[in-house]
Amino acid sequence: MKEEKWHEELGRYFQGLRIIEKSQEEAREHFDQFCEFIVEPAVEALEDELKLHGIKIKYRRQKYSYFHLQVNFPGSKVDNFHYMISLPKNSLDLTLTLKTSGRKDKKSPVSGEQEGPFLPGVKPEAILKLGKEDVIIDIISKLKEFNYSARTSPD
């Protein structure tokens, strides 16, 4: 009987690997759904409004990996702002990362880089329940924070 114990342990090991792989696959699929059905419509709505103010945006999505938004300010003191939501490698759930940065003018390097959790008060299981307005408000909040700082800095 003791000889069979290692078979059970090996079986539990492979079962654990299957659970990890399944969780990672589900996290990637959920991230893709989040980007397609929540983030992209939010950015498209924001794009329409920003166009009215002469502000252009670009965005792209890397399937299962990240969503990147770049806001360009032509003829302004501030050149651009970057907002990137990403799914960390090997994630088991939708604990997402947000990275923001920008460039004060065309000749300056990217600065003001900040990285942290995306919407820290929202639990991973609630990410897919967000509305596009939640995402738009977060983008505006981070954009405002960067832009005000860039416009009022002494350098």
* Count of domains observed in the chain: 1
Predicted TM-score (pTM) of this structure: 0.86
Which segments within 63-105 are labelled E, that is strand? 66-72, 80-86, 97-103
Who has greater pLDDT, 73 or 23? 23
Higher pLDDT, residue 135 or 147: 135
pLDDT at 103: 77
Which of 106, 108, 138 is CA-nearest to residue 122? 138
Work out the percent of the chain whose per-residue pLDDT is above 90: 70
User: pLDDT digits over 65-89, tens only?
Assistant: 999 999 987 766 567 889 999 999 9
* Domain range for 63: 2-152
